[in-house]
Structure 1
């Protein structure tokens, strides 16, 4: 695995991460509702670390090859997104909570982020459809496939961290002093999470 392969993967992965989706919606919402976006982004990256471990161990292929397991994962992830999106719509909150509530919300933000990315079947499919195209096999491989998978997974996690920290920080910097606008954006993010969850659910059930 040479530097050209790593750079090619990085370019493709960065483009994919920059496409707004559930992760973006959650990052913006968490950034505006809490004092820091770090716990939320840390949770999202932790979820992708789980995907990396599954892919490196070969378990991701087994999950994707089992319609029952994939359906369970999709339904769980979609239901969680719908529940979280509805909760955000009901209580959009405002930037700048303090005290013990901040510590508690930070822990919740981390766990929610890990659940969103860890239960996201699209994240699993990225590791199955995009990542394998950059693996080097045969006599030219300098690293075993599981190690290459781990390296590419780490690059993906790094891309996610960089993009989501930028998105959450920018949203907070622009809207932090505008409570009304911040609440509107948070509600939009909640609606996006709810809609994405519902779409995932409908798409998966339509294939049964």
Structure 2
């Protein structure tokens, strides 16, 4: 596989990762909960790791070609996203408040990580990303097995997500830490974004 192909994949992938969405919203809300940034991003990456394993195994093609299974994934993922968004919207984080003590417990970190994994792992858009984007860059004449190329693309995507989402979460924490009112507003906006995205996915699948 040549460097031109890898560079082209990274350019397209970074463009997608840099587009705000549910992952951004979760990273921002986690950033306002002080030390929960890393486990939140780790959870998001864990969800994509699952998709990478599915893609390497070739199961992504099977799942993506099943309309009924995609519908189930969409409904579950959208409902979960809307539920999380409502929780964020109704209980906005305030930097430096009691959430600081809560975020230090291992059980809370696990909960934050599991929620992140649920957001990325139940998002059917991620499945379609792996299904539609990766094959465009697979080179059967490269001398690499298709599974190895798929694994490499999945790893690069996870690294890009980790860098961008950590930056988003830490930036939100740094900029808004001394501005409680702005932090509440941004957190509520993040929660609202989750609800809107979840509703859009639900309507798109059920009506479309």
The answer for unaligned runs of 5 or more in structure 1 is none
1:118-157, CA deviations, whole angstroms, 9 ceiling, x for partnerless residues?
Answer: 01111110111111111011xx222110110000000000
Partner in structure 2 of residue 56 of structure 1 = 56
Shift of 1:34: 3.7
What TM-score comes out, normalization by structure 1 length?
A: 0.95
Say whether the 8 Å CA contact 2:60–2:127 is kept in structure 1: yes
Mapped partners of 2:79, 2:196: distance in 1: 11
Say whether the 8 Å CA contact 1:34–1:106 is kept in structure 2: no
Aligned residues: CA RMSD: 1.1
Partner in structure 2 of residue 113 of structure 1 = 116
1:63-113, CA deviations, whole angstroms, 9 ceiling, x for partnerless residues?
Answer: 111111101110110000000000111111212333355323322110000
Partner in structure 1 of residue 78 of structure 2 = 78
Mapped partners of 1:182, 1:63: distance in 2: 39
Say whether the 8 Å CA contact 1:34–1:105 is kept in structure 2: no
Task: Determine whether 1:191 maps to 2:197.
Answer: no
Task: Determine whether 1:202 maps to 2:203.
Answer: yes
- State how 1:90-109 maps to structure 2 within 5 Å: 90-96=90-96, 97-103=99-105, 104-109=107-112
- State how 1:116-195 maps to structure 2 within 5 Å: 116-137=119-140, 140-195=141-196
| Number of residue pairs aligned between Structure 1 and Structure 2 | 205
Say whether the 8 Å CA contact 2:34–2:103 is kept in structure 1: no
What TM-score comes out, normalization by structure 2 length?
A: 0.95
The runs of at least 4 aligned residues of structure 1 exceeding 6 Å deviation read none
Partner in structure 2 of residue 2 of structure 1 = 2
